[in-house]
């Protein structure tokens, strides 16, 4: 009996960092109309949804993650009317739109905060987290993720307010029912406009310890940030936080086919914590990110398969996984995987892994081209993290550089100087060049996505590991009803001799010259960095 599969379980989702995607009004910064202009490109590749990093009104102290009006689009990116048109045009192409929902904190310029900060007895006085000094100092030892203390003095109230990120990003008091109701009404505003879901920013941060107890110190290895030397027990991950996930799910379920995916942040990958935000997949978030692979720098088959196996074990049977190789906060996968002259071959193996394991793949813009991290000089830094910790930490600018569209000026991104410099090698790594090359990484992604869409086994099938990666290659089968597919991935620069257990196979996809259409039981050779997807034929 076929279960009722939903679009976000079948789909492949494309993340766009809007400042860097395409500049339609030629001011050096990407915008909403730029996304509309490139919808045919996104559709042609086979993506089912777009997750757009924040585009709400913001003073841009953290490039949109400090929101001053949840119901408006920042003029830097366009207008509300243009966004509604984006939703309409995307839906015409059967592409869903996912917004970034940043509700742990707002901008310090949000009207709610301005009112809250004005006095201790105004109606919104308790909408943010305010505390009196303790012994003439900050209320506790909490630190901000972007540097310094997590408390900022406010002269008007003669109190400190909490900011777990920048001082311009005061944290909401989610224990206040009126604040919670106001945020839920802002979420409803966008759901009513046809938005198909939300990516929830640092969603495990919402509630803080009622007593605001000090965090204990810990040592997790060298780090440029004192923040990483605290065990963050009391400033996030409170048990009651999961109750809010249930409320958010209840709200989204009032609408048809909507999806919530959570960023459950931890300084080190914590799949058990992420899994707790999904529960059984029916009463909390639809999905949550596990960043075990995105934090992985070692190139080996076990480095990929072990985290995935662990993720599957932690999720209840009814829950649905999702996977990601890169995003706007972490170095691009191609830069992490290294390999010198074999780097592009590794990128193909990684892409095939992402698109054939069980779960929803998220692909970061430019990953389909094999974009590297950009090289950003200190004078060109934009990210507050990079400015704070340079040179110990480069910040997040390197993974946010402009999309490479063509050989024209500024890689076709804009006629004006882009807000960040272009990546080196853009003349040969751009969309225009790769579209014309049938063997390019772009066309590799396109073929693989379309093969995935034709196979229910790859989209929704069960998973069985056939080779565990100990020999630096992987084999796993995906099965849905009578359809079975075998995926073979060689992570090594050496040929692997493998033994196939079934009798007959038909080749569906491969990086190398595919053997005869009908293949018989091995042993046979898996060539260096070979990707091979086979249909298992019934005997």
pLDDT tens-digit readout, 109-118: 999 999 999 9
226 vs 355: which has the higher pLDDT = 355
Report the 10 Å Cβ neighbour count for 317: 7
329 classed as catalytic: no
In the chain, the percentage of residues whose pLDDT exceeds 70 is 96
Please give the model's pTM, rounded to 2 decimal places: 0.96
pLDDT value for 1: 31
Domains along the sequence of the chain with CATH = 7-107+176-208+237-369+424-451 (3.20.20.80), 461-537 (2.60.40.1180)
Q: What is the mean pLDDT of residues 170-192?
A: 98
Helices (H), 394-440: 426-429, 431-435
The answer, yes or no, to whether the previous bond of 523 is cis (omega within 30 of 0) is: yes
**Residue 525: pLDDT band by 50, 70, 90 thresholds?**
confident
Tell me, yes or no, if 424 is annotated catalytic: no
C-alpha 73/C-alpha 76 separation (Å) is 8
Q: Which residues 6+ apart lie within 8 Å of 516 measured at CB?
A: none
pLDDT tens digits, one per residue of 411-447: 999 999 999 999 999 999 999 999 999 999 999 999 9
pLDDT at 516 over 70: no
pLDDT at 296 over 90: no
- pLDDT at 55 > cutoff 90: yes
* pLDDT at residue 2 tops 60: no
Provide mean pLDDT across the span 92-115.
98
Catalytic residue among 66, 263, 290, 397: 263
Which of 94, 97, 87, 30 is CA-nearest to residue 64?
30
Whether the predicted pLDDT of 30 surpasses 50: yes
- Choose, from 23, 62, 201, 492, the residue flagged as catalytic: 201
Residue 519 clears pLDDT 80, i.e. is over it: no
How many Å apart are CA 145 and CA 143, to the nearest integer?
Answer: 7
The predicted model gives 349-365 an average pLDDT of: 98
Query: How does the average pLDDT of the chain come out, rounded?
Result: 94
Evaluate the omega torsion of the peptide bond into residue 167 and state whether it is cis, within 30 degrees of 0. Answer: no
Report whether 511 contacts 342 (CB < 8 A).
no
- 500 phi and psi, to 5 degrees? -90, 145
pLDDT tens-digit profile of 243-278?
999 999 999 999 999 999 999 998 888 999 999 999
The residue count for the chain: 539
Asked whether 243 and 226 are in contact (CB, 8 A), the reply is no
Residue with tokens 């303790």: 134
Q: How confident is the model at residue 3 (pLDDT cuts 50, 70, 90)?
A: low
């Amino acid at each position: 009996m076929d279960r009722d599969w939903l679009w976000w379980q079948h789909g492949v989702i494309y993340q766009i960092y809007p400042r860097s995607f395409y500049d339609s009004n030629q001011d050096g910064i990407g915008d909403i109309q730029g996304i509309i202009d490139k919808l045919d490109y996104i559709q042609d590749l086979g993506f089912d949804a777009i997750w757009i990093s924040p585009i709400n009104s913001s003073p841009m102290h953290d490039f949109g993650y400090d929101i001053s009006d949840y119901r408006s689009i920042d003029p830097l990116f366009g207008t509300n009317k243009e966004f509604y048109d984006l939703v309409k045009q995307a839906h015409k192409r059967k592409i869903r739109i996912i917004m970034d929902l940043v509700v742990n904190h707002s901008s310090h310029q949000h009207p709610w905060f301005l009112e809250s900060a004005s006095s201790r007895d105004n109606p919104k006085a308790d909408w943010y987290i305010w505390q009196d000094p303790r012994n003439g100092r900050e209320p506790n030892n909490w630190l901000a993720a972007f540097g310094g203390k997590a408390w900022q003095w406010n002269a008007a109230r003669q109190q400190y307010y909490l900011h777990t990120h920048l001082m311009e990003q005061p944290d909401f008091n989610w224990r206040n029912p009126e604040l919670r109701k106001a945020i839920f009404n802002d979420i409803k505003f966008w759901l009513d406009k046809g938005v198909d879901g939300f990516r929830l920013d640092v969603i495990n941060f919402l509630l803080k310890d009622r007593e605001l107890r000090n965090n204990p110190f810990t040592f997790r290895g060298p780090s440029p940030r004192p923040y990483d030397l605290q065990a963050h027990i009391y400033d996030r991950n409170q048990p009651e936080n999961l109750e809010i996930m249930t409320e958010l799910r209840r709200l989204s379920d009032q609408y048809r086919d909507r999806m919530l995916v959570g960023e459950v942040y931890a300084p080190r990958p914590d799949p058990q914590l992420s899994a707790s935000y999904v529960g059984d997949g029916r009463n909390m978030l639809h999905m949550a990110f596990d960043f075990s692979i995105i934090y992985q720098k070692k190139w080996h088959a076990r480095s990929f398969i072990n985290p995935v196996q662990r993720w599957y074990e932690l999720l209840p049977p009814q829950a649905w996984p999702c996977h990601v190789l890169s995003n706007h906060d972490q170095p691009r996968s191609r830069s992490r995987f290294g390999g010198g002259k074999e780097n592009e071959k590794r990128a193909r193996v990684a892409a095939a892994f992402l698109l054939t394991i069980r779960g929803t793949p998220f692909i970061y813009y430019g990953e389909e081209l094999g974009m590297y991290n950009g090289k950003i000089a200190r004078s060109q830094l934009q990210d507050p993290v990079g400015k704070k910790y340079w040179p110990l930490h480069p910040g997040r600018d390197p993974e946010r550089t402009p999309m490479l569209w063509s050989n024209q000026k500024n890689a076709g991104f804009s006629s004006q100087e882009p807000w960040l410099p272009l990546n080196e090698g853009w003349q040969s790594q751009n969309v225009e060049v790769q579209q014309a090359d049938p063997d390019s990484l772009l066309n590799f992604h396109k073929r693989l996505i379309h093969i995935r869409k034709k196979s229910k086994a790859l989209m929704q099938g069960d998973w069985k590991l056939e080779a565990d990666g100990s020999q630096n290659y992987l084999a796993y089968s995906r099965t849905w009803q009578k359809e079975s597919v075998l995926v073979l991935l060689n992570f090594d620069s050496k040929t692997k001799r493998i033994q196939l257990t079934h009798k007959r196979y038909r080749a569906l996809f491969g990086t190398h010259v595919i053997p005869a259409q009908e293949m018989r039981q091995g042993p046979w050779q898996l060539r260096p960095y070979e990707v091979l997807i086979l249909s298992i034929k019934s005997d």
